[in-house]
């Protein structure tokens, strides 16, 4: 299974790196100075670099299940996403943070299923035998509790995905140093939703929490 990866690296080295040696040397000498941070899903079908055609050094990327942002909780716990956000904002001084969600997200689907089962009085945690995932996706539970899952799965899935993006944007604002930068117009927060089925990109309008098509 790993042989294609080795072949892929050789192709990168021989056909990309070898032609861009000056570019990579510059990256090493000047360090990384991305102006955009993107928080994307771990889903193997949604690769931000491929979607947006970026080069190394252009974006600071964090990927996790369901592209979630936890709320600001400065305690002694392990906060990988929060640490990455802090580094991007305080050290790299990015100008934009984009939360990139997508259609048919497995993490959001699982969150919806768990909430539906909870409402029905079912308990599937033992069957799932998961130690971390269920508690992780609870970050976005409040964004779906008012949705009607009687006919789920269906279009309600996409509403849940978009609501979760809004929840992550709100959680970003719970970080005091991000909220301060936003209030002084020194950083911009974006919520994007990628429709894999139709290859369309949607943008969150903060004024009314509605998504509009960004790319025709």
**Span 152-194, pLDDT tens digits:** 566 788 999 999 999 999 999 999 999 999 999 999 999 999 9
Residue 113's pLDDT is what? 84
What residue ranges define each of the domains in the chain, with the CATH number in brackets? 1-30 (no CATH), 32-215 (3.40.1050.10)
pLDDT over 70 percentage in the chain: 92
Prediction pTM value: 0.92
Return d(Cα 70, Cα 167) in angstroms, integer. Answer: 9
In what side-by-side order are the strands of the sheet with 59-64? Answer: 59-64, 36-41, 96-102, 188-195, 200-205, 210-215
Confidence bin at 117 (pLDDT 50/70/90) = confident
Tokens of 90: 């305080």
Instruction: Determine the Cα–Cα distance for residues 9 and 30; give it in Å rounded to an integer.
Output: 24
């Amino acid at each position: 299974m790993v042989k294609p990866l080795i072949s892929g690296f050789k192709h990168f080295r021989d056909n990309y790196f070898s032609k861009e040696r000056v570019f990579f040397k510059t990256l090493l000498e000047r360090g990384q100075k991305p102006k955009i941070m993107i928080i994307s899903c771990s889903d193997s079908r949604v690769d931000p670099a491929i979607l947006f055609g970026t080069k190394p050094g252009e974006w600071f990327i964090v990927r996790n299940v369901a592209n979630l942002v936890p709320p600001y909780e400065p305690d002694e716990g392990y906060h990988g996403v929060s640490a990455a956000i802090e580094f991007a904002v305080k050290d790299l001084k990015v100008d934009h943070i984009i939360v990139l969600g997508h259609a048919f997200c497995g993490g959001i689907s699982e969150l919806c299923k768990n909430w539906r089962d909870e409402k029905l009085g079912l308990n599937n945690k033992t069957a799932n035998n998961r130690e971390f995932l269920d508690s992780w996706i609870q970050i976005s539970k409040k964004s779906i509790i008012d949705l009607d899952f009687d006919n789920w799965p269906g279009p309600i899935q996409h509403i849940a995905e978009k609501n979760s993006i809004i929840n992550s944007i709100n959680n970003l604002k719970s970080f005091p140093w991000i909220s301060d930068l936003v209030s002084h117009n020194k950083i911009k927060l974006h919520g994007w939703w990628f429709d894999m089925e139709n290859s369309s990109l949607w943008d969150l309008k903060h004024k009314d929490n509605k998504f509009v098509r960004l790319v025709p």
